[in-house]
Amino acid sequence: MSYQVGIDVGGTFTDGVLIHKNNLIKKTKVPTQHDNLLDTLLHALEHLDVFKQPVEQITVSTTLVTNAILENKLPPIELFLFPGSGMRLDALPWPVPYHAFMGEIDYRGREVSPPDELEWRRLCNQLDFEAVPQAAIVSKFSHRNRVLEDALAQFLSKKYPQLDIALGCEWGHANFYRRSLTTYLNTASKNLYKTFASQLHQAVAKNGSKAGITVLKADGGILPIDQLRPVESINSGPAASVIGALAQTDPQQSFVVVDIGGTTTDIGLILSGEPLLSAQGARIGPFLTLIPTLATRSIPVGGDSAVLPAPDVPEGFTLAPYRQGPAYCLGGEYPTPTDAMRYLKRVEHGDYARAEEGLASLLPAEGRNPHALQGLALKILEKFAEEVANAFSLLHKEWQEEPAYKVWEVLHPHSAKDFYIWVSGGSARGIAPSLEDKVHLPVRFTQHADVSNAIGAALARPTLSCTLHLDTTIRSYRIEEFGEQKEWLGSKRPHKEVQEFLQEIARERARTIGLNLHELEFKTQPFDFFPVVKGYATVGQIIRGSVVVPPGVVGRLEV
């Protein structure tokens, strides 16, 4: 096996690892330049001597699209909707403007009322497609019939050939609201992501490397950078935390992952060696999406969170939900939890004298003695651990409502009592004692906890899911994950042929996106068969089933 590289772009640092035969050969940390992620990635690759090794694959966990969404830096696009009847669009919190049209599809994909082309012409006369050259078209129930979206797309393409048009049916899941926002975000981020991917390819090739470049997705799987839909890269940081933990632990254990970065802390869950997937799509800022994601949560507290004086509270300080530069012991302007760890000698990075000086600034001059400083440092870490413990408590209640968790709980009725906390990040060693006291669970970490996310990126395996919805009565089928809609040519009451049909679609999909997956890696989920009865006769079936390659790792790090 050749060398594997993992790069995780964090809010404060970008971590990188070089791995060969499940052994970590080299690791690095470089400051993240949010305004120039390409340079940040190249610096990390150079520090790892990637261009001097026969590297087979470089996997990146990138915040490019996430940052663009949260910082409101996406270009405007026109969003056209066919909401149909039965719902009011203004009853939903739309974070973007939209235009609504007539025309309706019912829940089985049948056209109820046609669109009004005159309505389209009137609106187009009011819009400037030269200033806004992108459009997204989404119809309710378009995941079952795309006819309205296709009709408007053809109309716009004839009238405005330069217009870049995206359709909501490409996201084949139910939920009109989430599908609309997902289509919007993916369309708006497409050009930004395409430029980034092209530049990264050119930079790697220019340095003489023939390594393939893949990106970590929100569901913990990887995909070639050219095949990824941009919005699928959101939440890749928390996913890297979970997969990194999986790559360094026993494959059958159940535990909570707490990854402490400089800016945020990510929390996730592994059940008997499998990451917990969320039944809902990923959320980013005000946007609810259909992006498959691990059941994770990021909280705005990290090792570099600013500690501010607050004489009116019992502790005498507050832990700010933001970062004001590096820790004081590393040349920053504000004391942080990292300074508390350094003063207590739980970590070795940073200047000890500056850590002491930073903590002293939070105390009155007459109270600056070693005993008081030690008490303050312990209180800061206690407060930090309390924030994490509270988030874990709330998140654990949400996890227990996840269908996958409920199934696992039935199959493993005693395992929940064996949970422990697996801590990663640069502050893992420093926060472990305080966190153990607050959560009342054992806390563990490994020697490479500081670059665990990059390890997760390097050792993550591809994921793939193909969910079939077949209605033999109207002779149509669709594949949920990528919006394929076609005519069913088989029998009206199929059985085994449906599973073989779906498996072949999954294998073809894997080949299309460049994944080398064998049939044995697919897991076939149970199929549901619902007869359609008319009068006293069965006239067809509605069938649902799926085959998946769940998130996991290609190897486990030797530690």
User: Residues 6 or more apart from 451 whose CB is under 8 A from it?
Assistant: 8, 15, 16, 17, 24, 27, 28, 29
| Helix residue spans in 460-543 (DSSP H) | 496-512
Q: Is the pLDDT of residue 469 over 70?
A: yes
Q: Residue 519 pLDDT > 60, yes or no? A: no
Q: Is residue 437 a contact partner of residue 506, using CB atoms and an 8 Å limit?
A: no
Q: What is the pLDDT of residue 367?
A: 76
Query: Are 231 and 281 contacting, i.e. CB atoms less than 8 angstroms apart?
Result: no
Length of the chain, please? 559
Identify any residues that bridge with 81 across adjacent strands, giving them in sequence order: 100, 138
In tens, the pLDDT along 143-169 reads 999 999 999 999 999 999 999 999 999
Residue range 226-241, pLDDT digits in tens? 999 999 999 999 999 9
- 276-279: long-range contacts (C-beta < 8 A, 24 or more apart)? 276/399, 276/402, 276/404, 276/405, 277/219, 277/402, 277/404, 277/550, 277/551, 278/402, 279/402, 279/403, 279/404
Give the Cα separation of 96 and 107 in Å (integer). Answer: 26
The mean pLDDT value for 209-230 works out to 94
CA distance 404 to 546: 15
Q: Which residues of 407-444 are buried (b: 16+ CB within 10 A; e: fewer)?
A: ebeeeeeeeeeebbbbbbbbbbbbbbebbbebbebebb
CB atoms near residue 297 (< 10 Å)? 18
Residues in contact with 215: Cβ distance below 8 Å, sequence separation at least 6, in sequence order:
59, 60, 61, 62, 222, 223, 224, 225, 228, 233, 236
At 362, the amino acid letter reads L
Tokens of 283: 């959320």
Residue 432 confidence (pLDDT): 93
- Rounded to whole angstroms, the Cα distance separating 103 from 112 reads 8
Residue-wise pLDDT for 412-430, tens only, equals: 877 666 789 999 998 899 9
Structure tokens at 55: 């590297």
pTM reported for the whole predicted model: 0.91
- Taking the C-alpha atoms of residue 245 and residue 248, their distance in angstroms, rounded to an integer, is 5
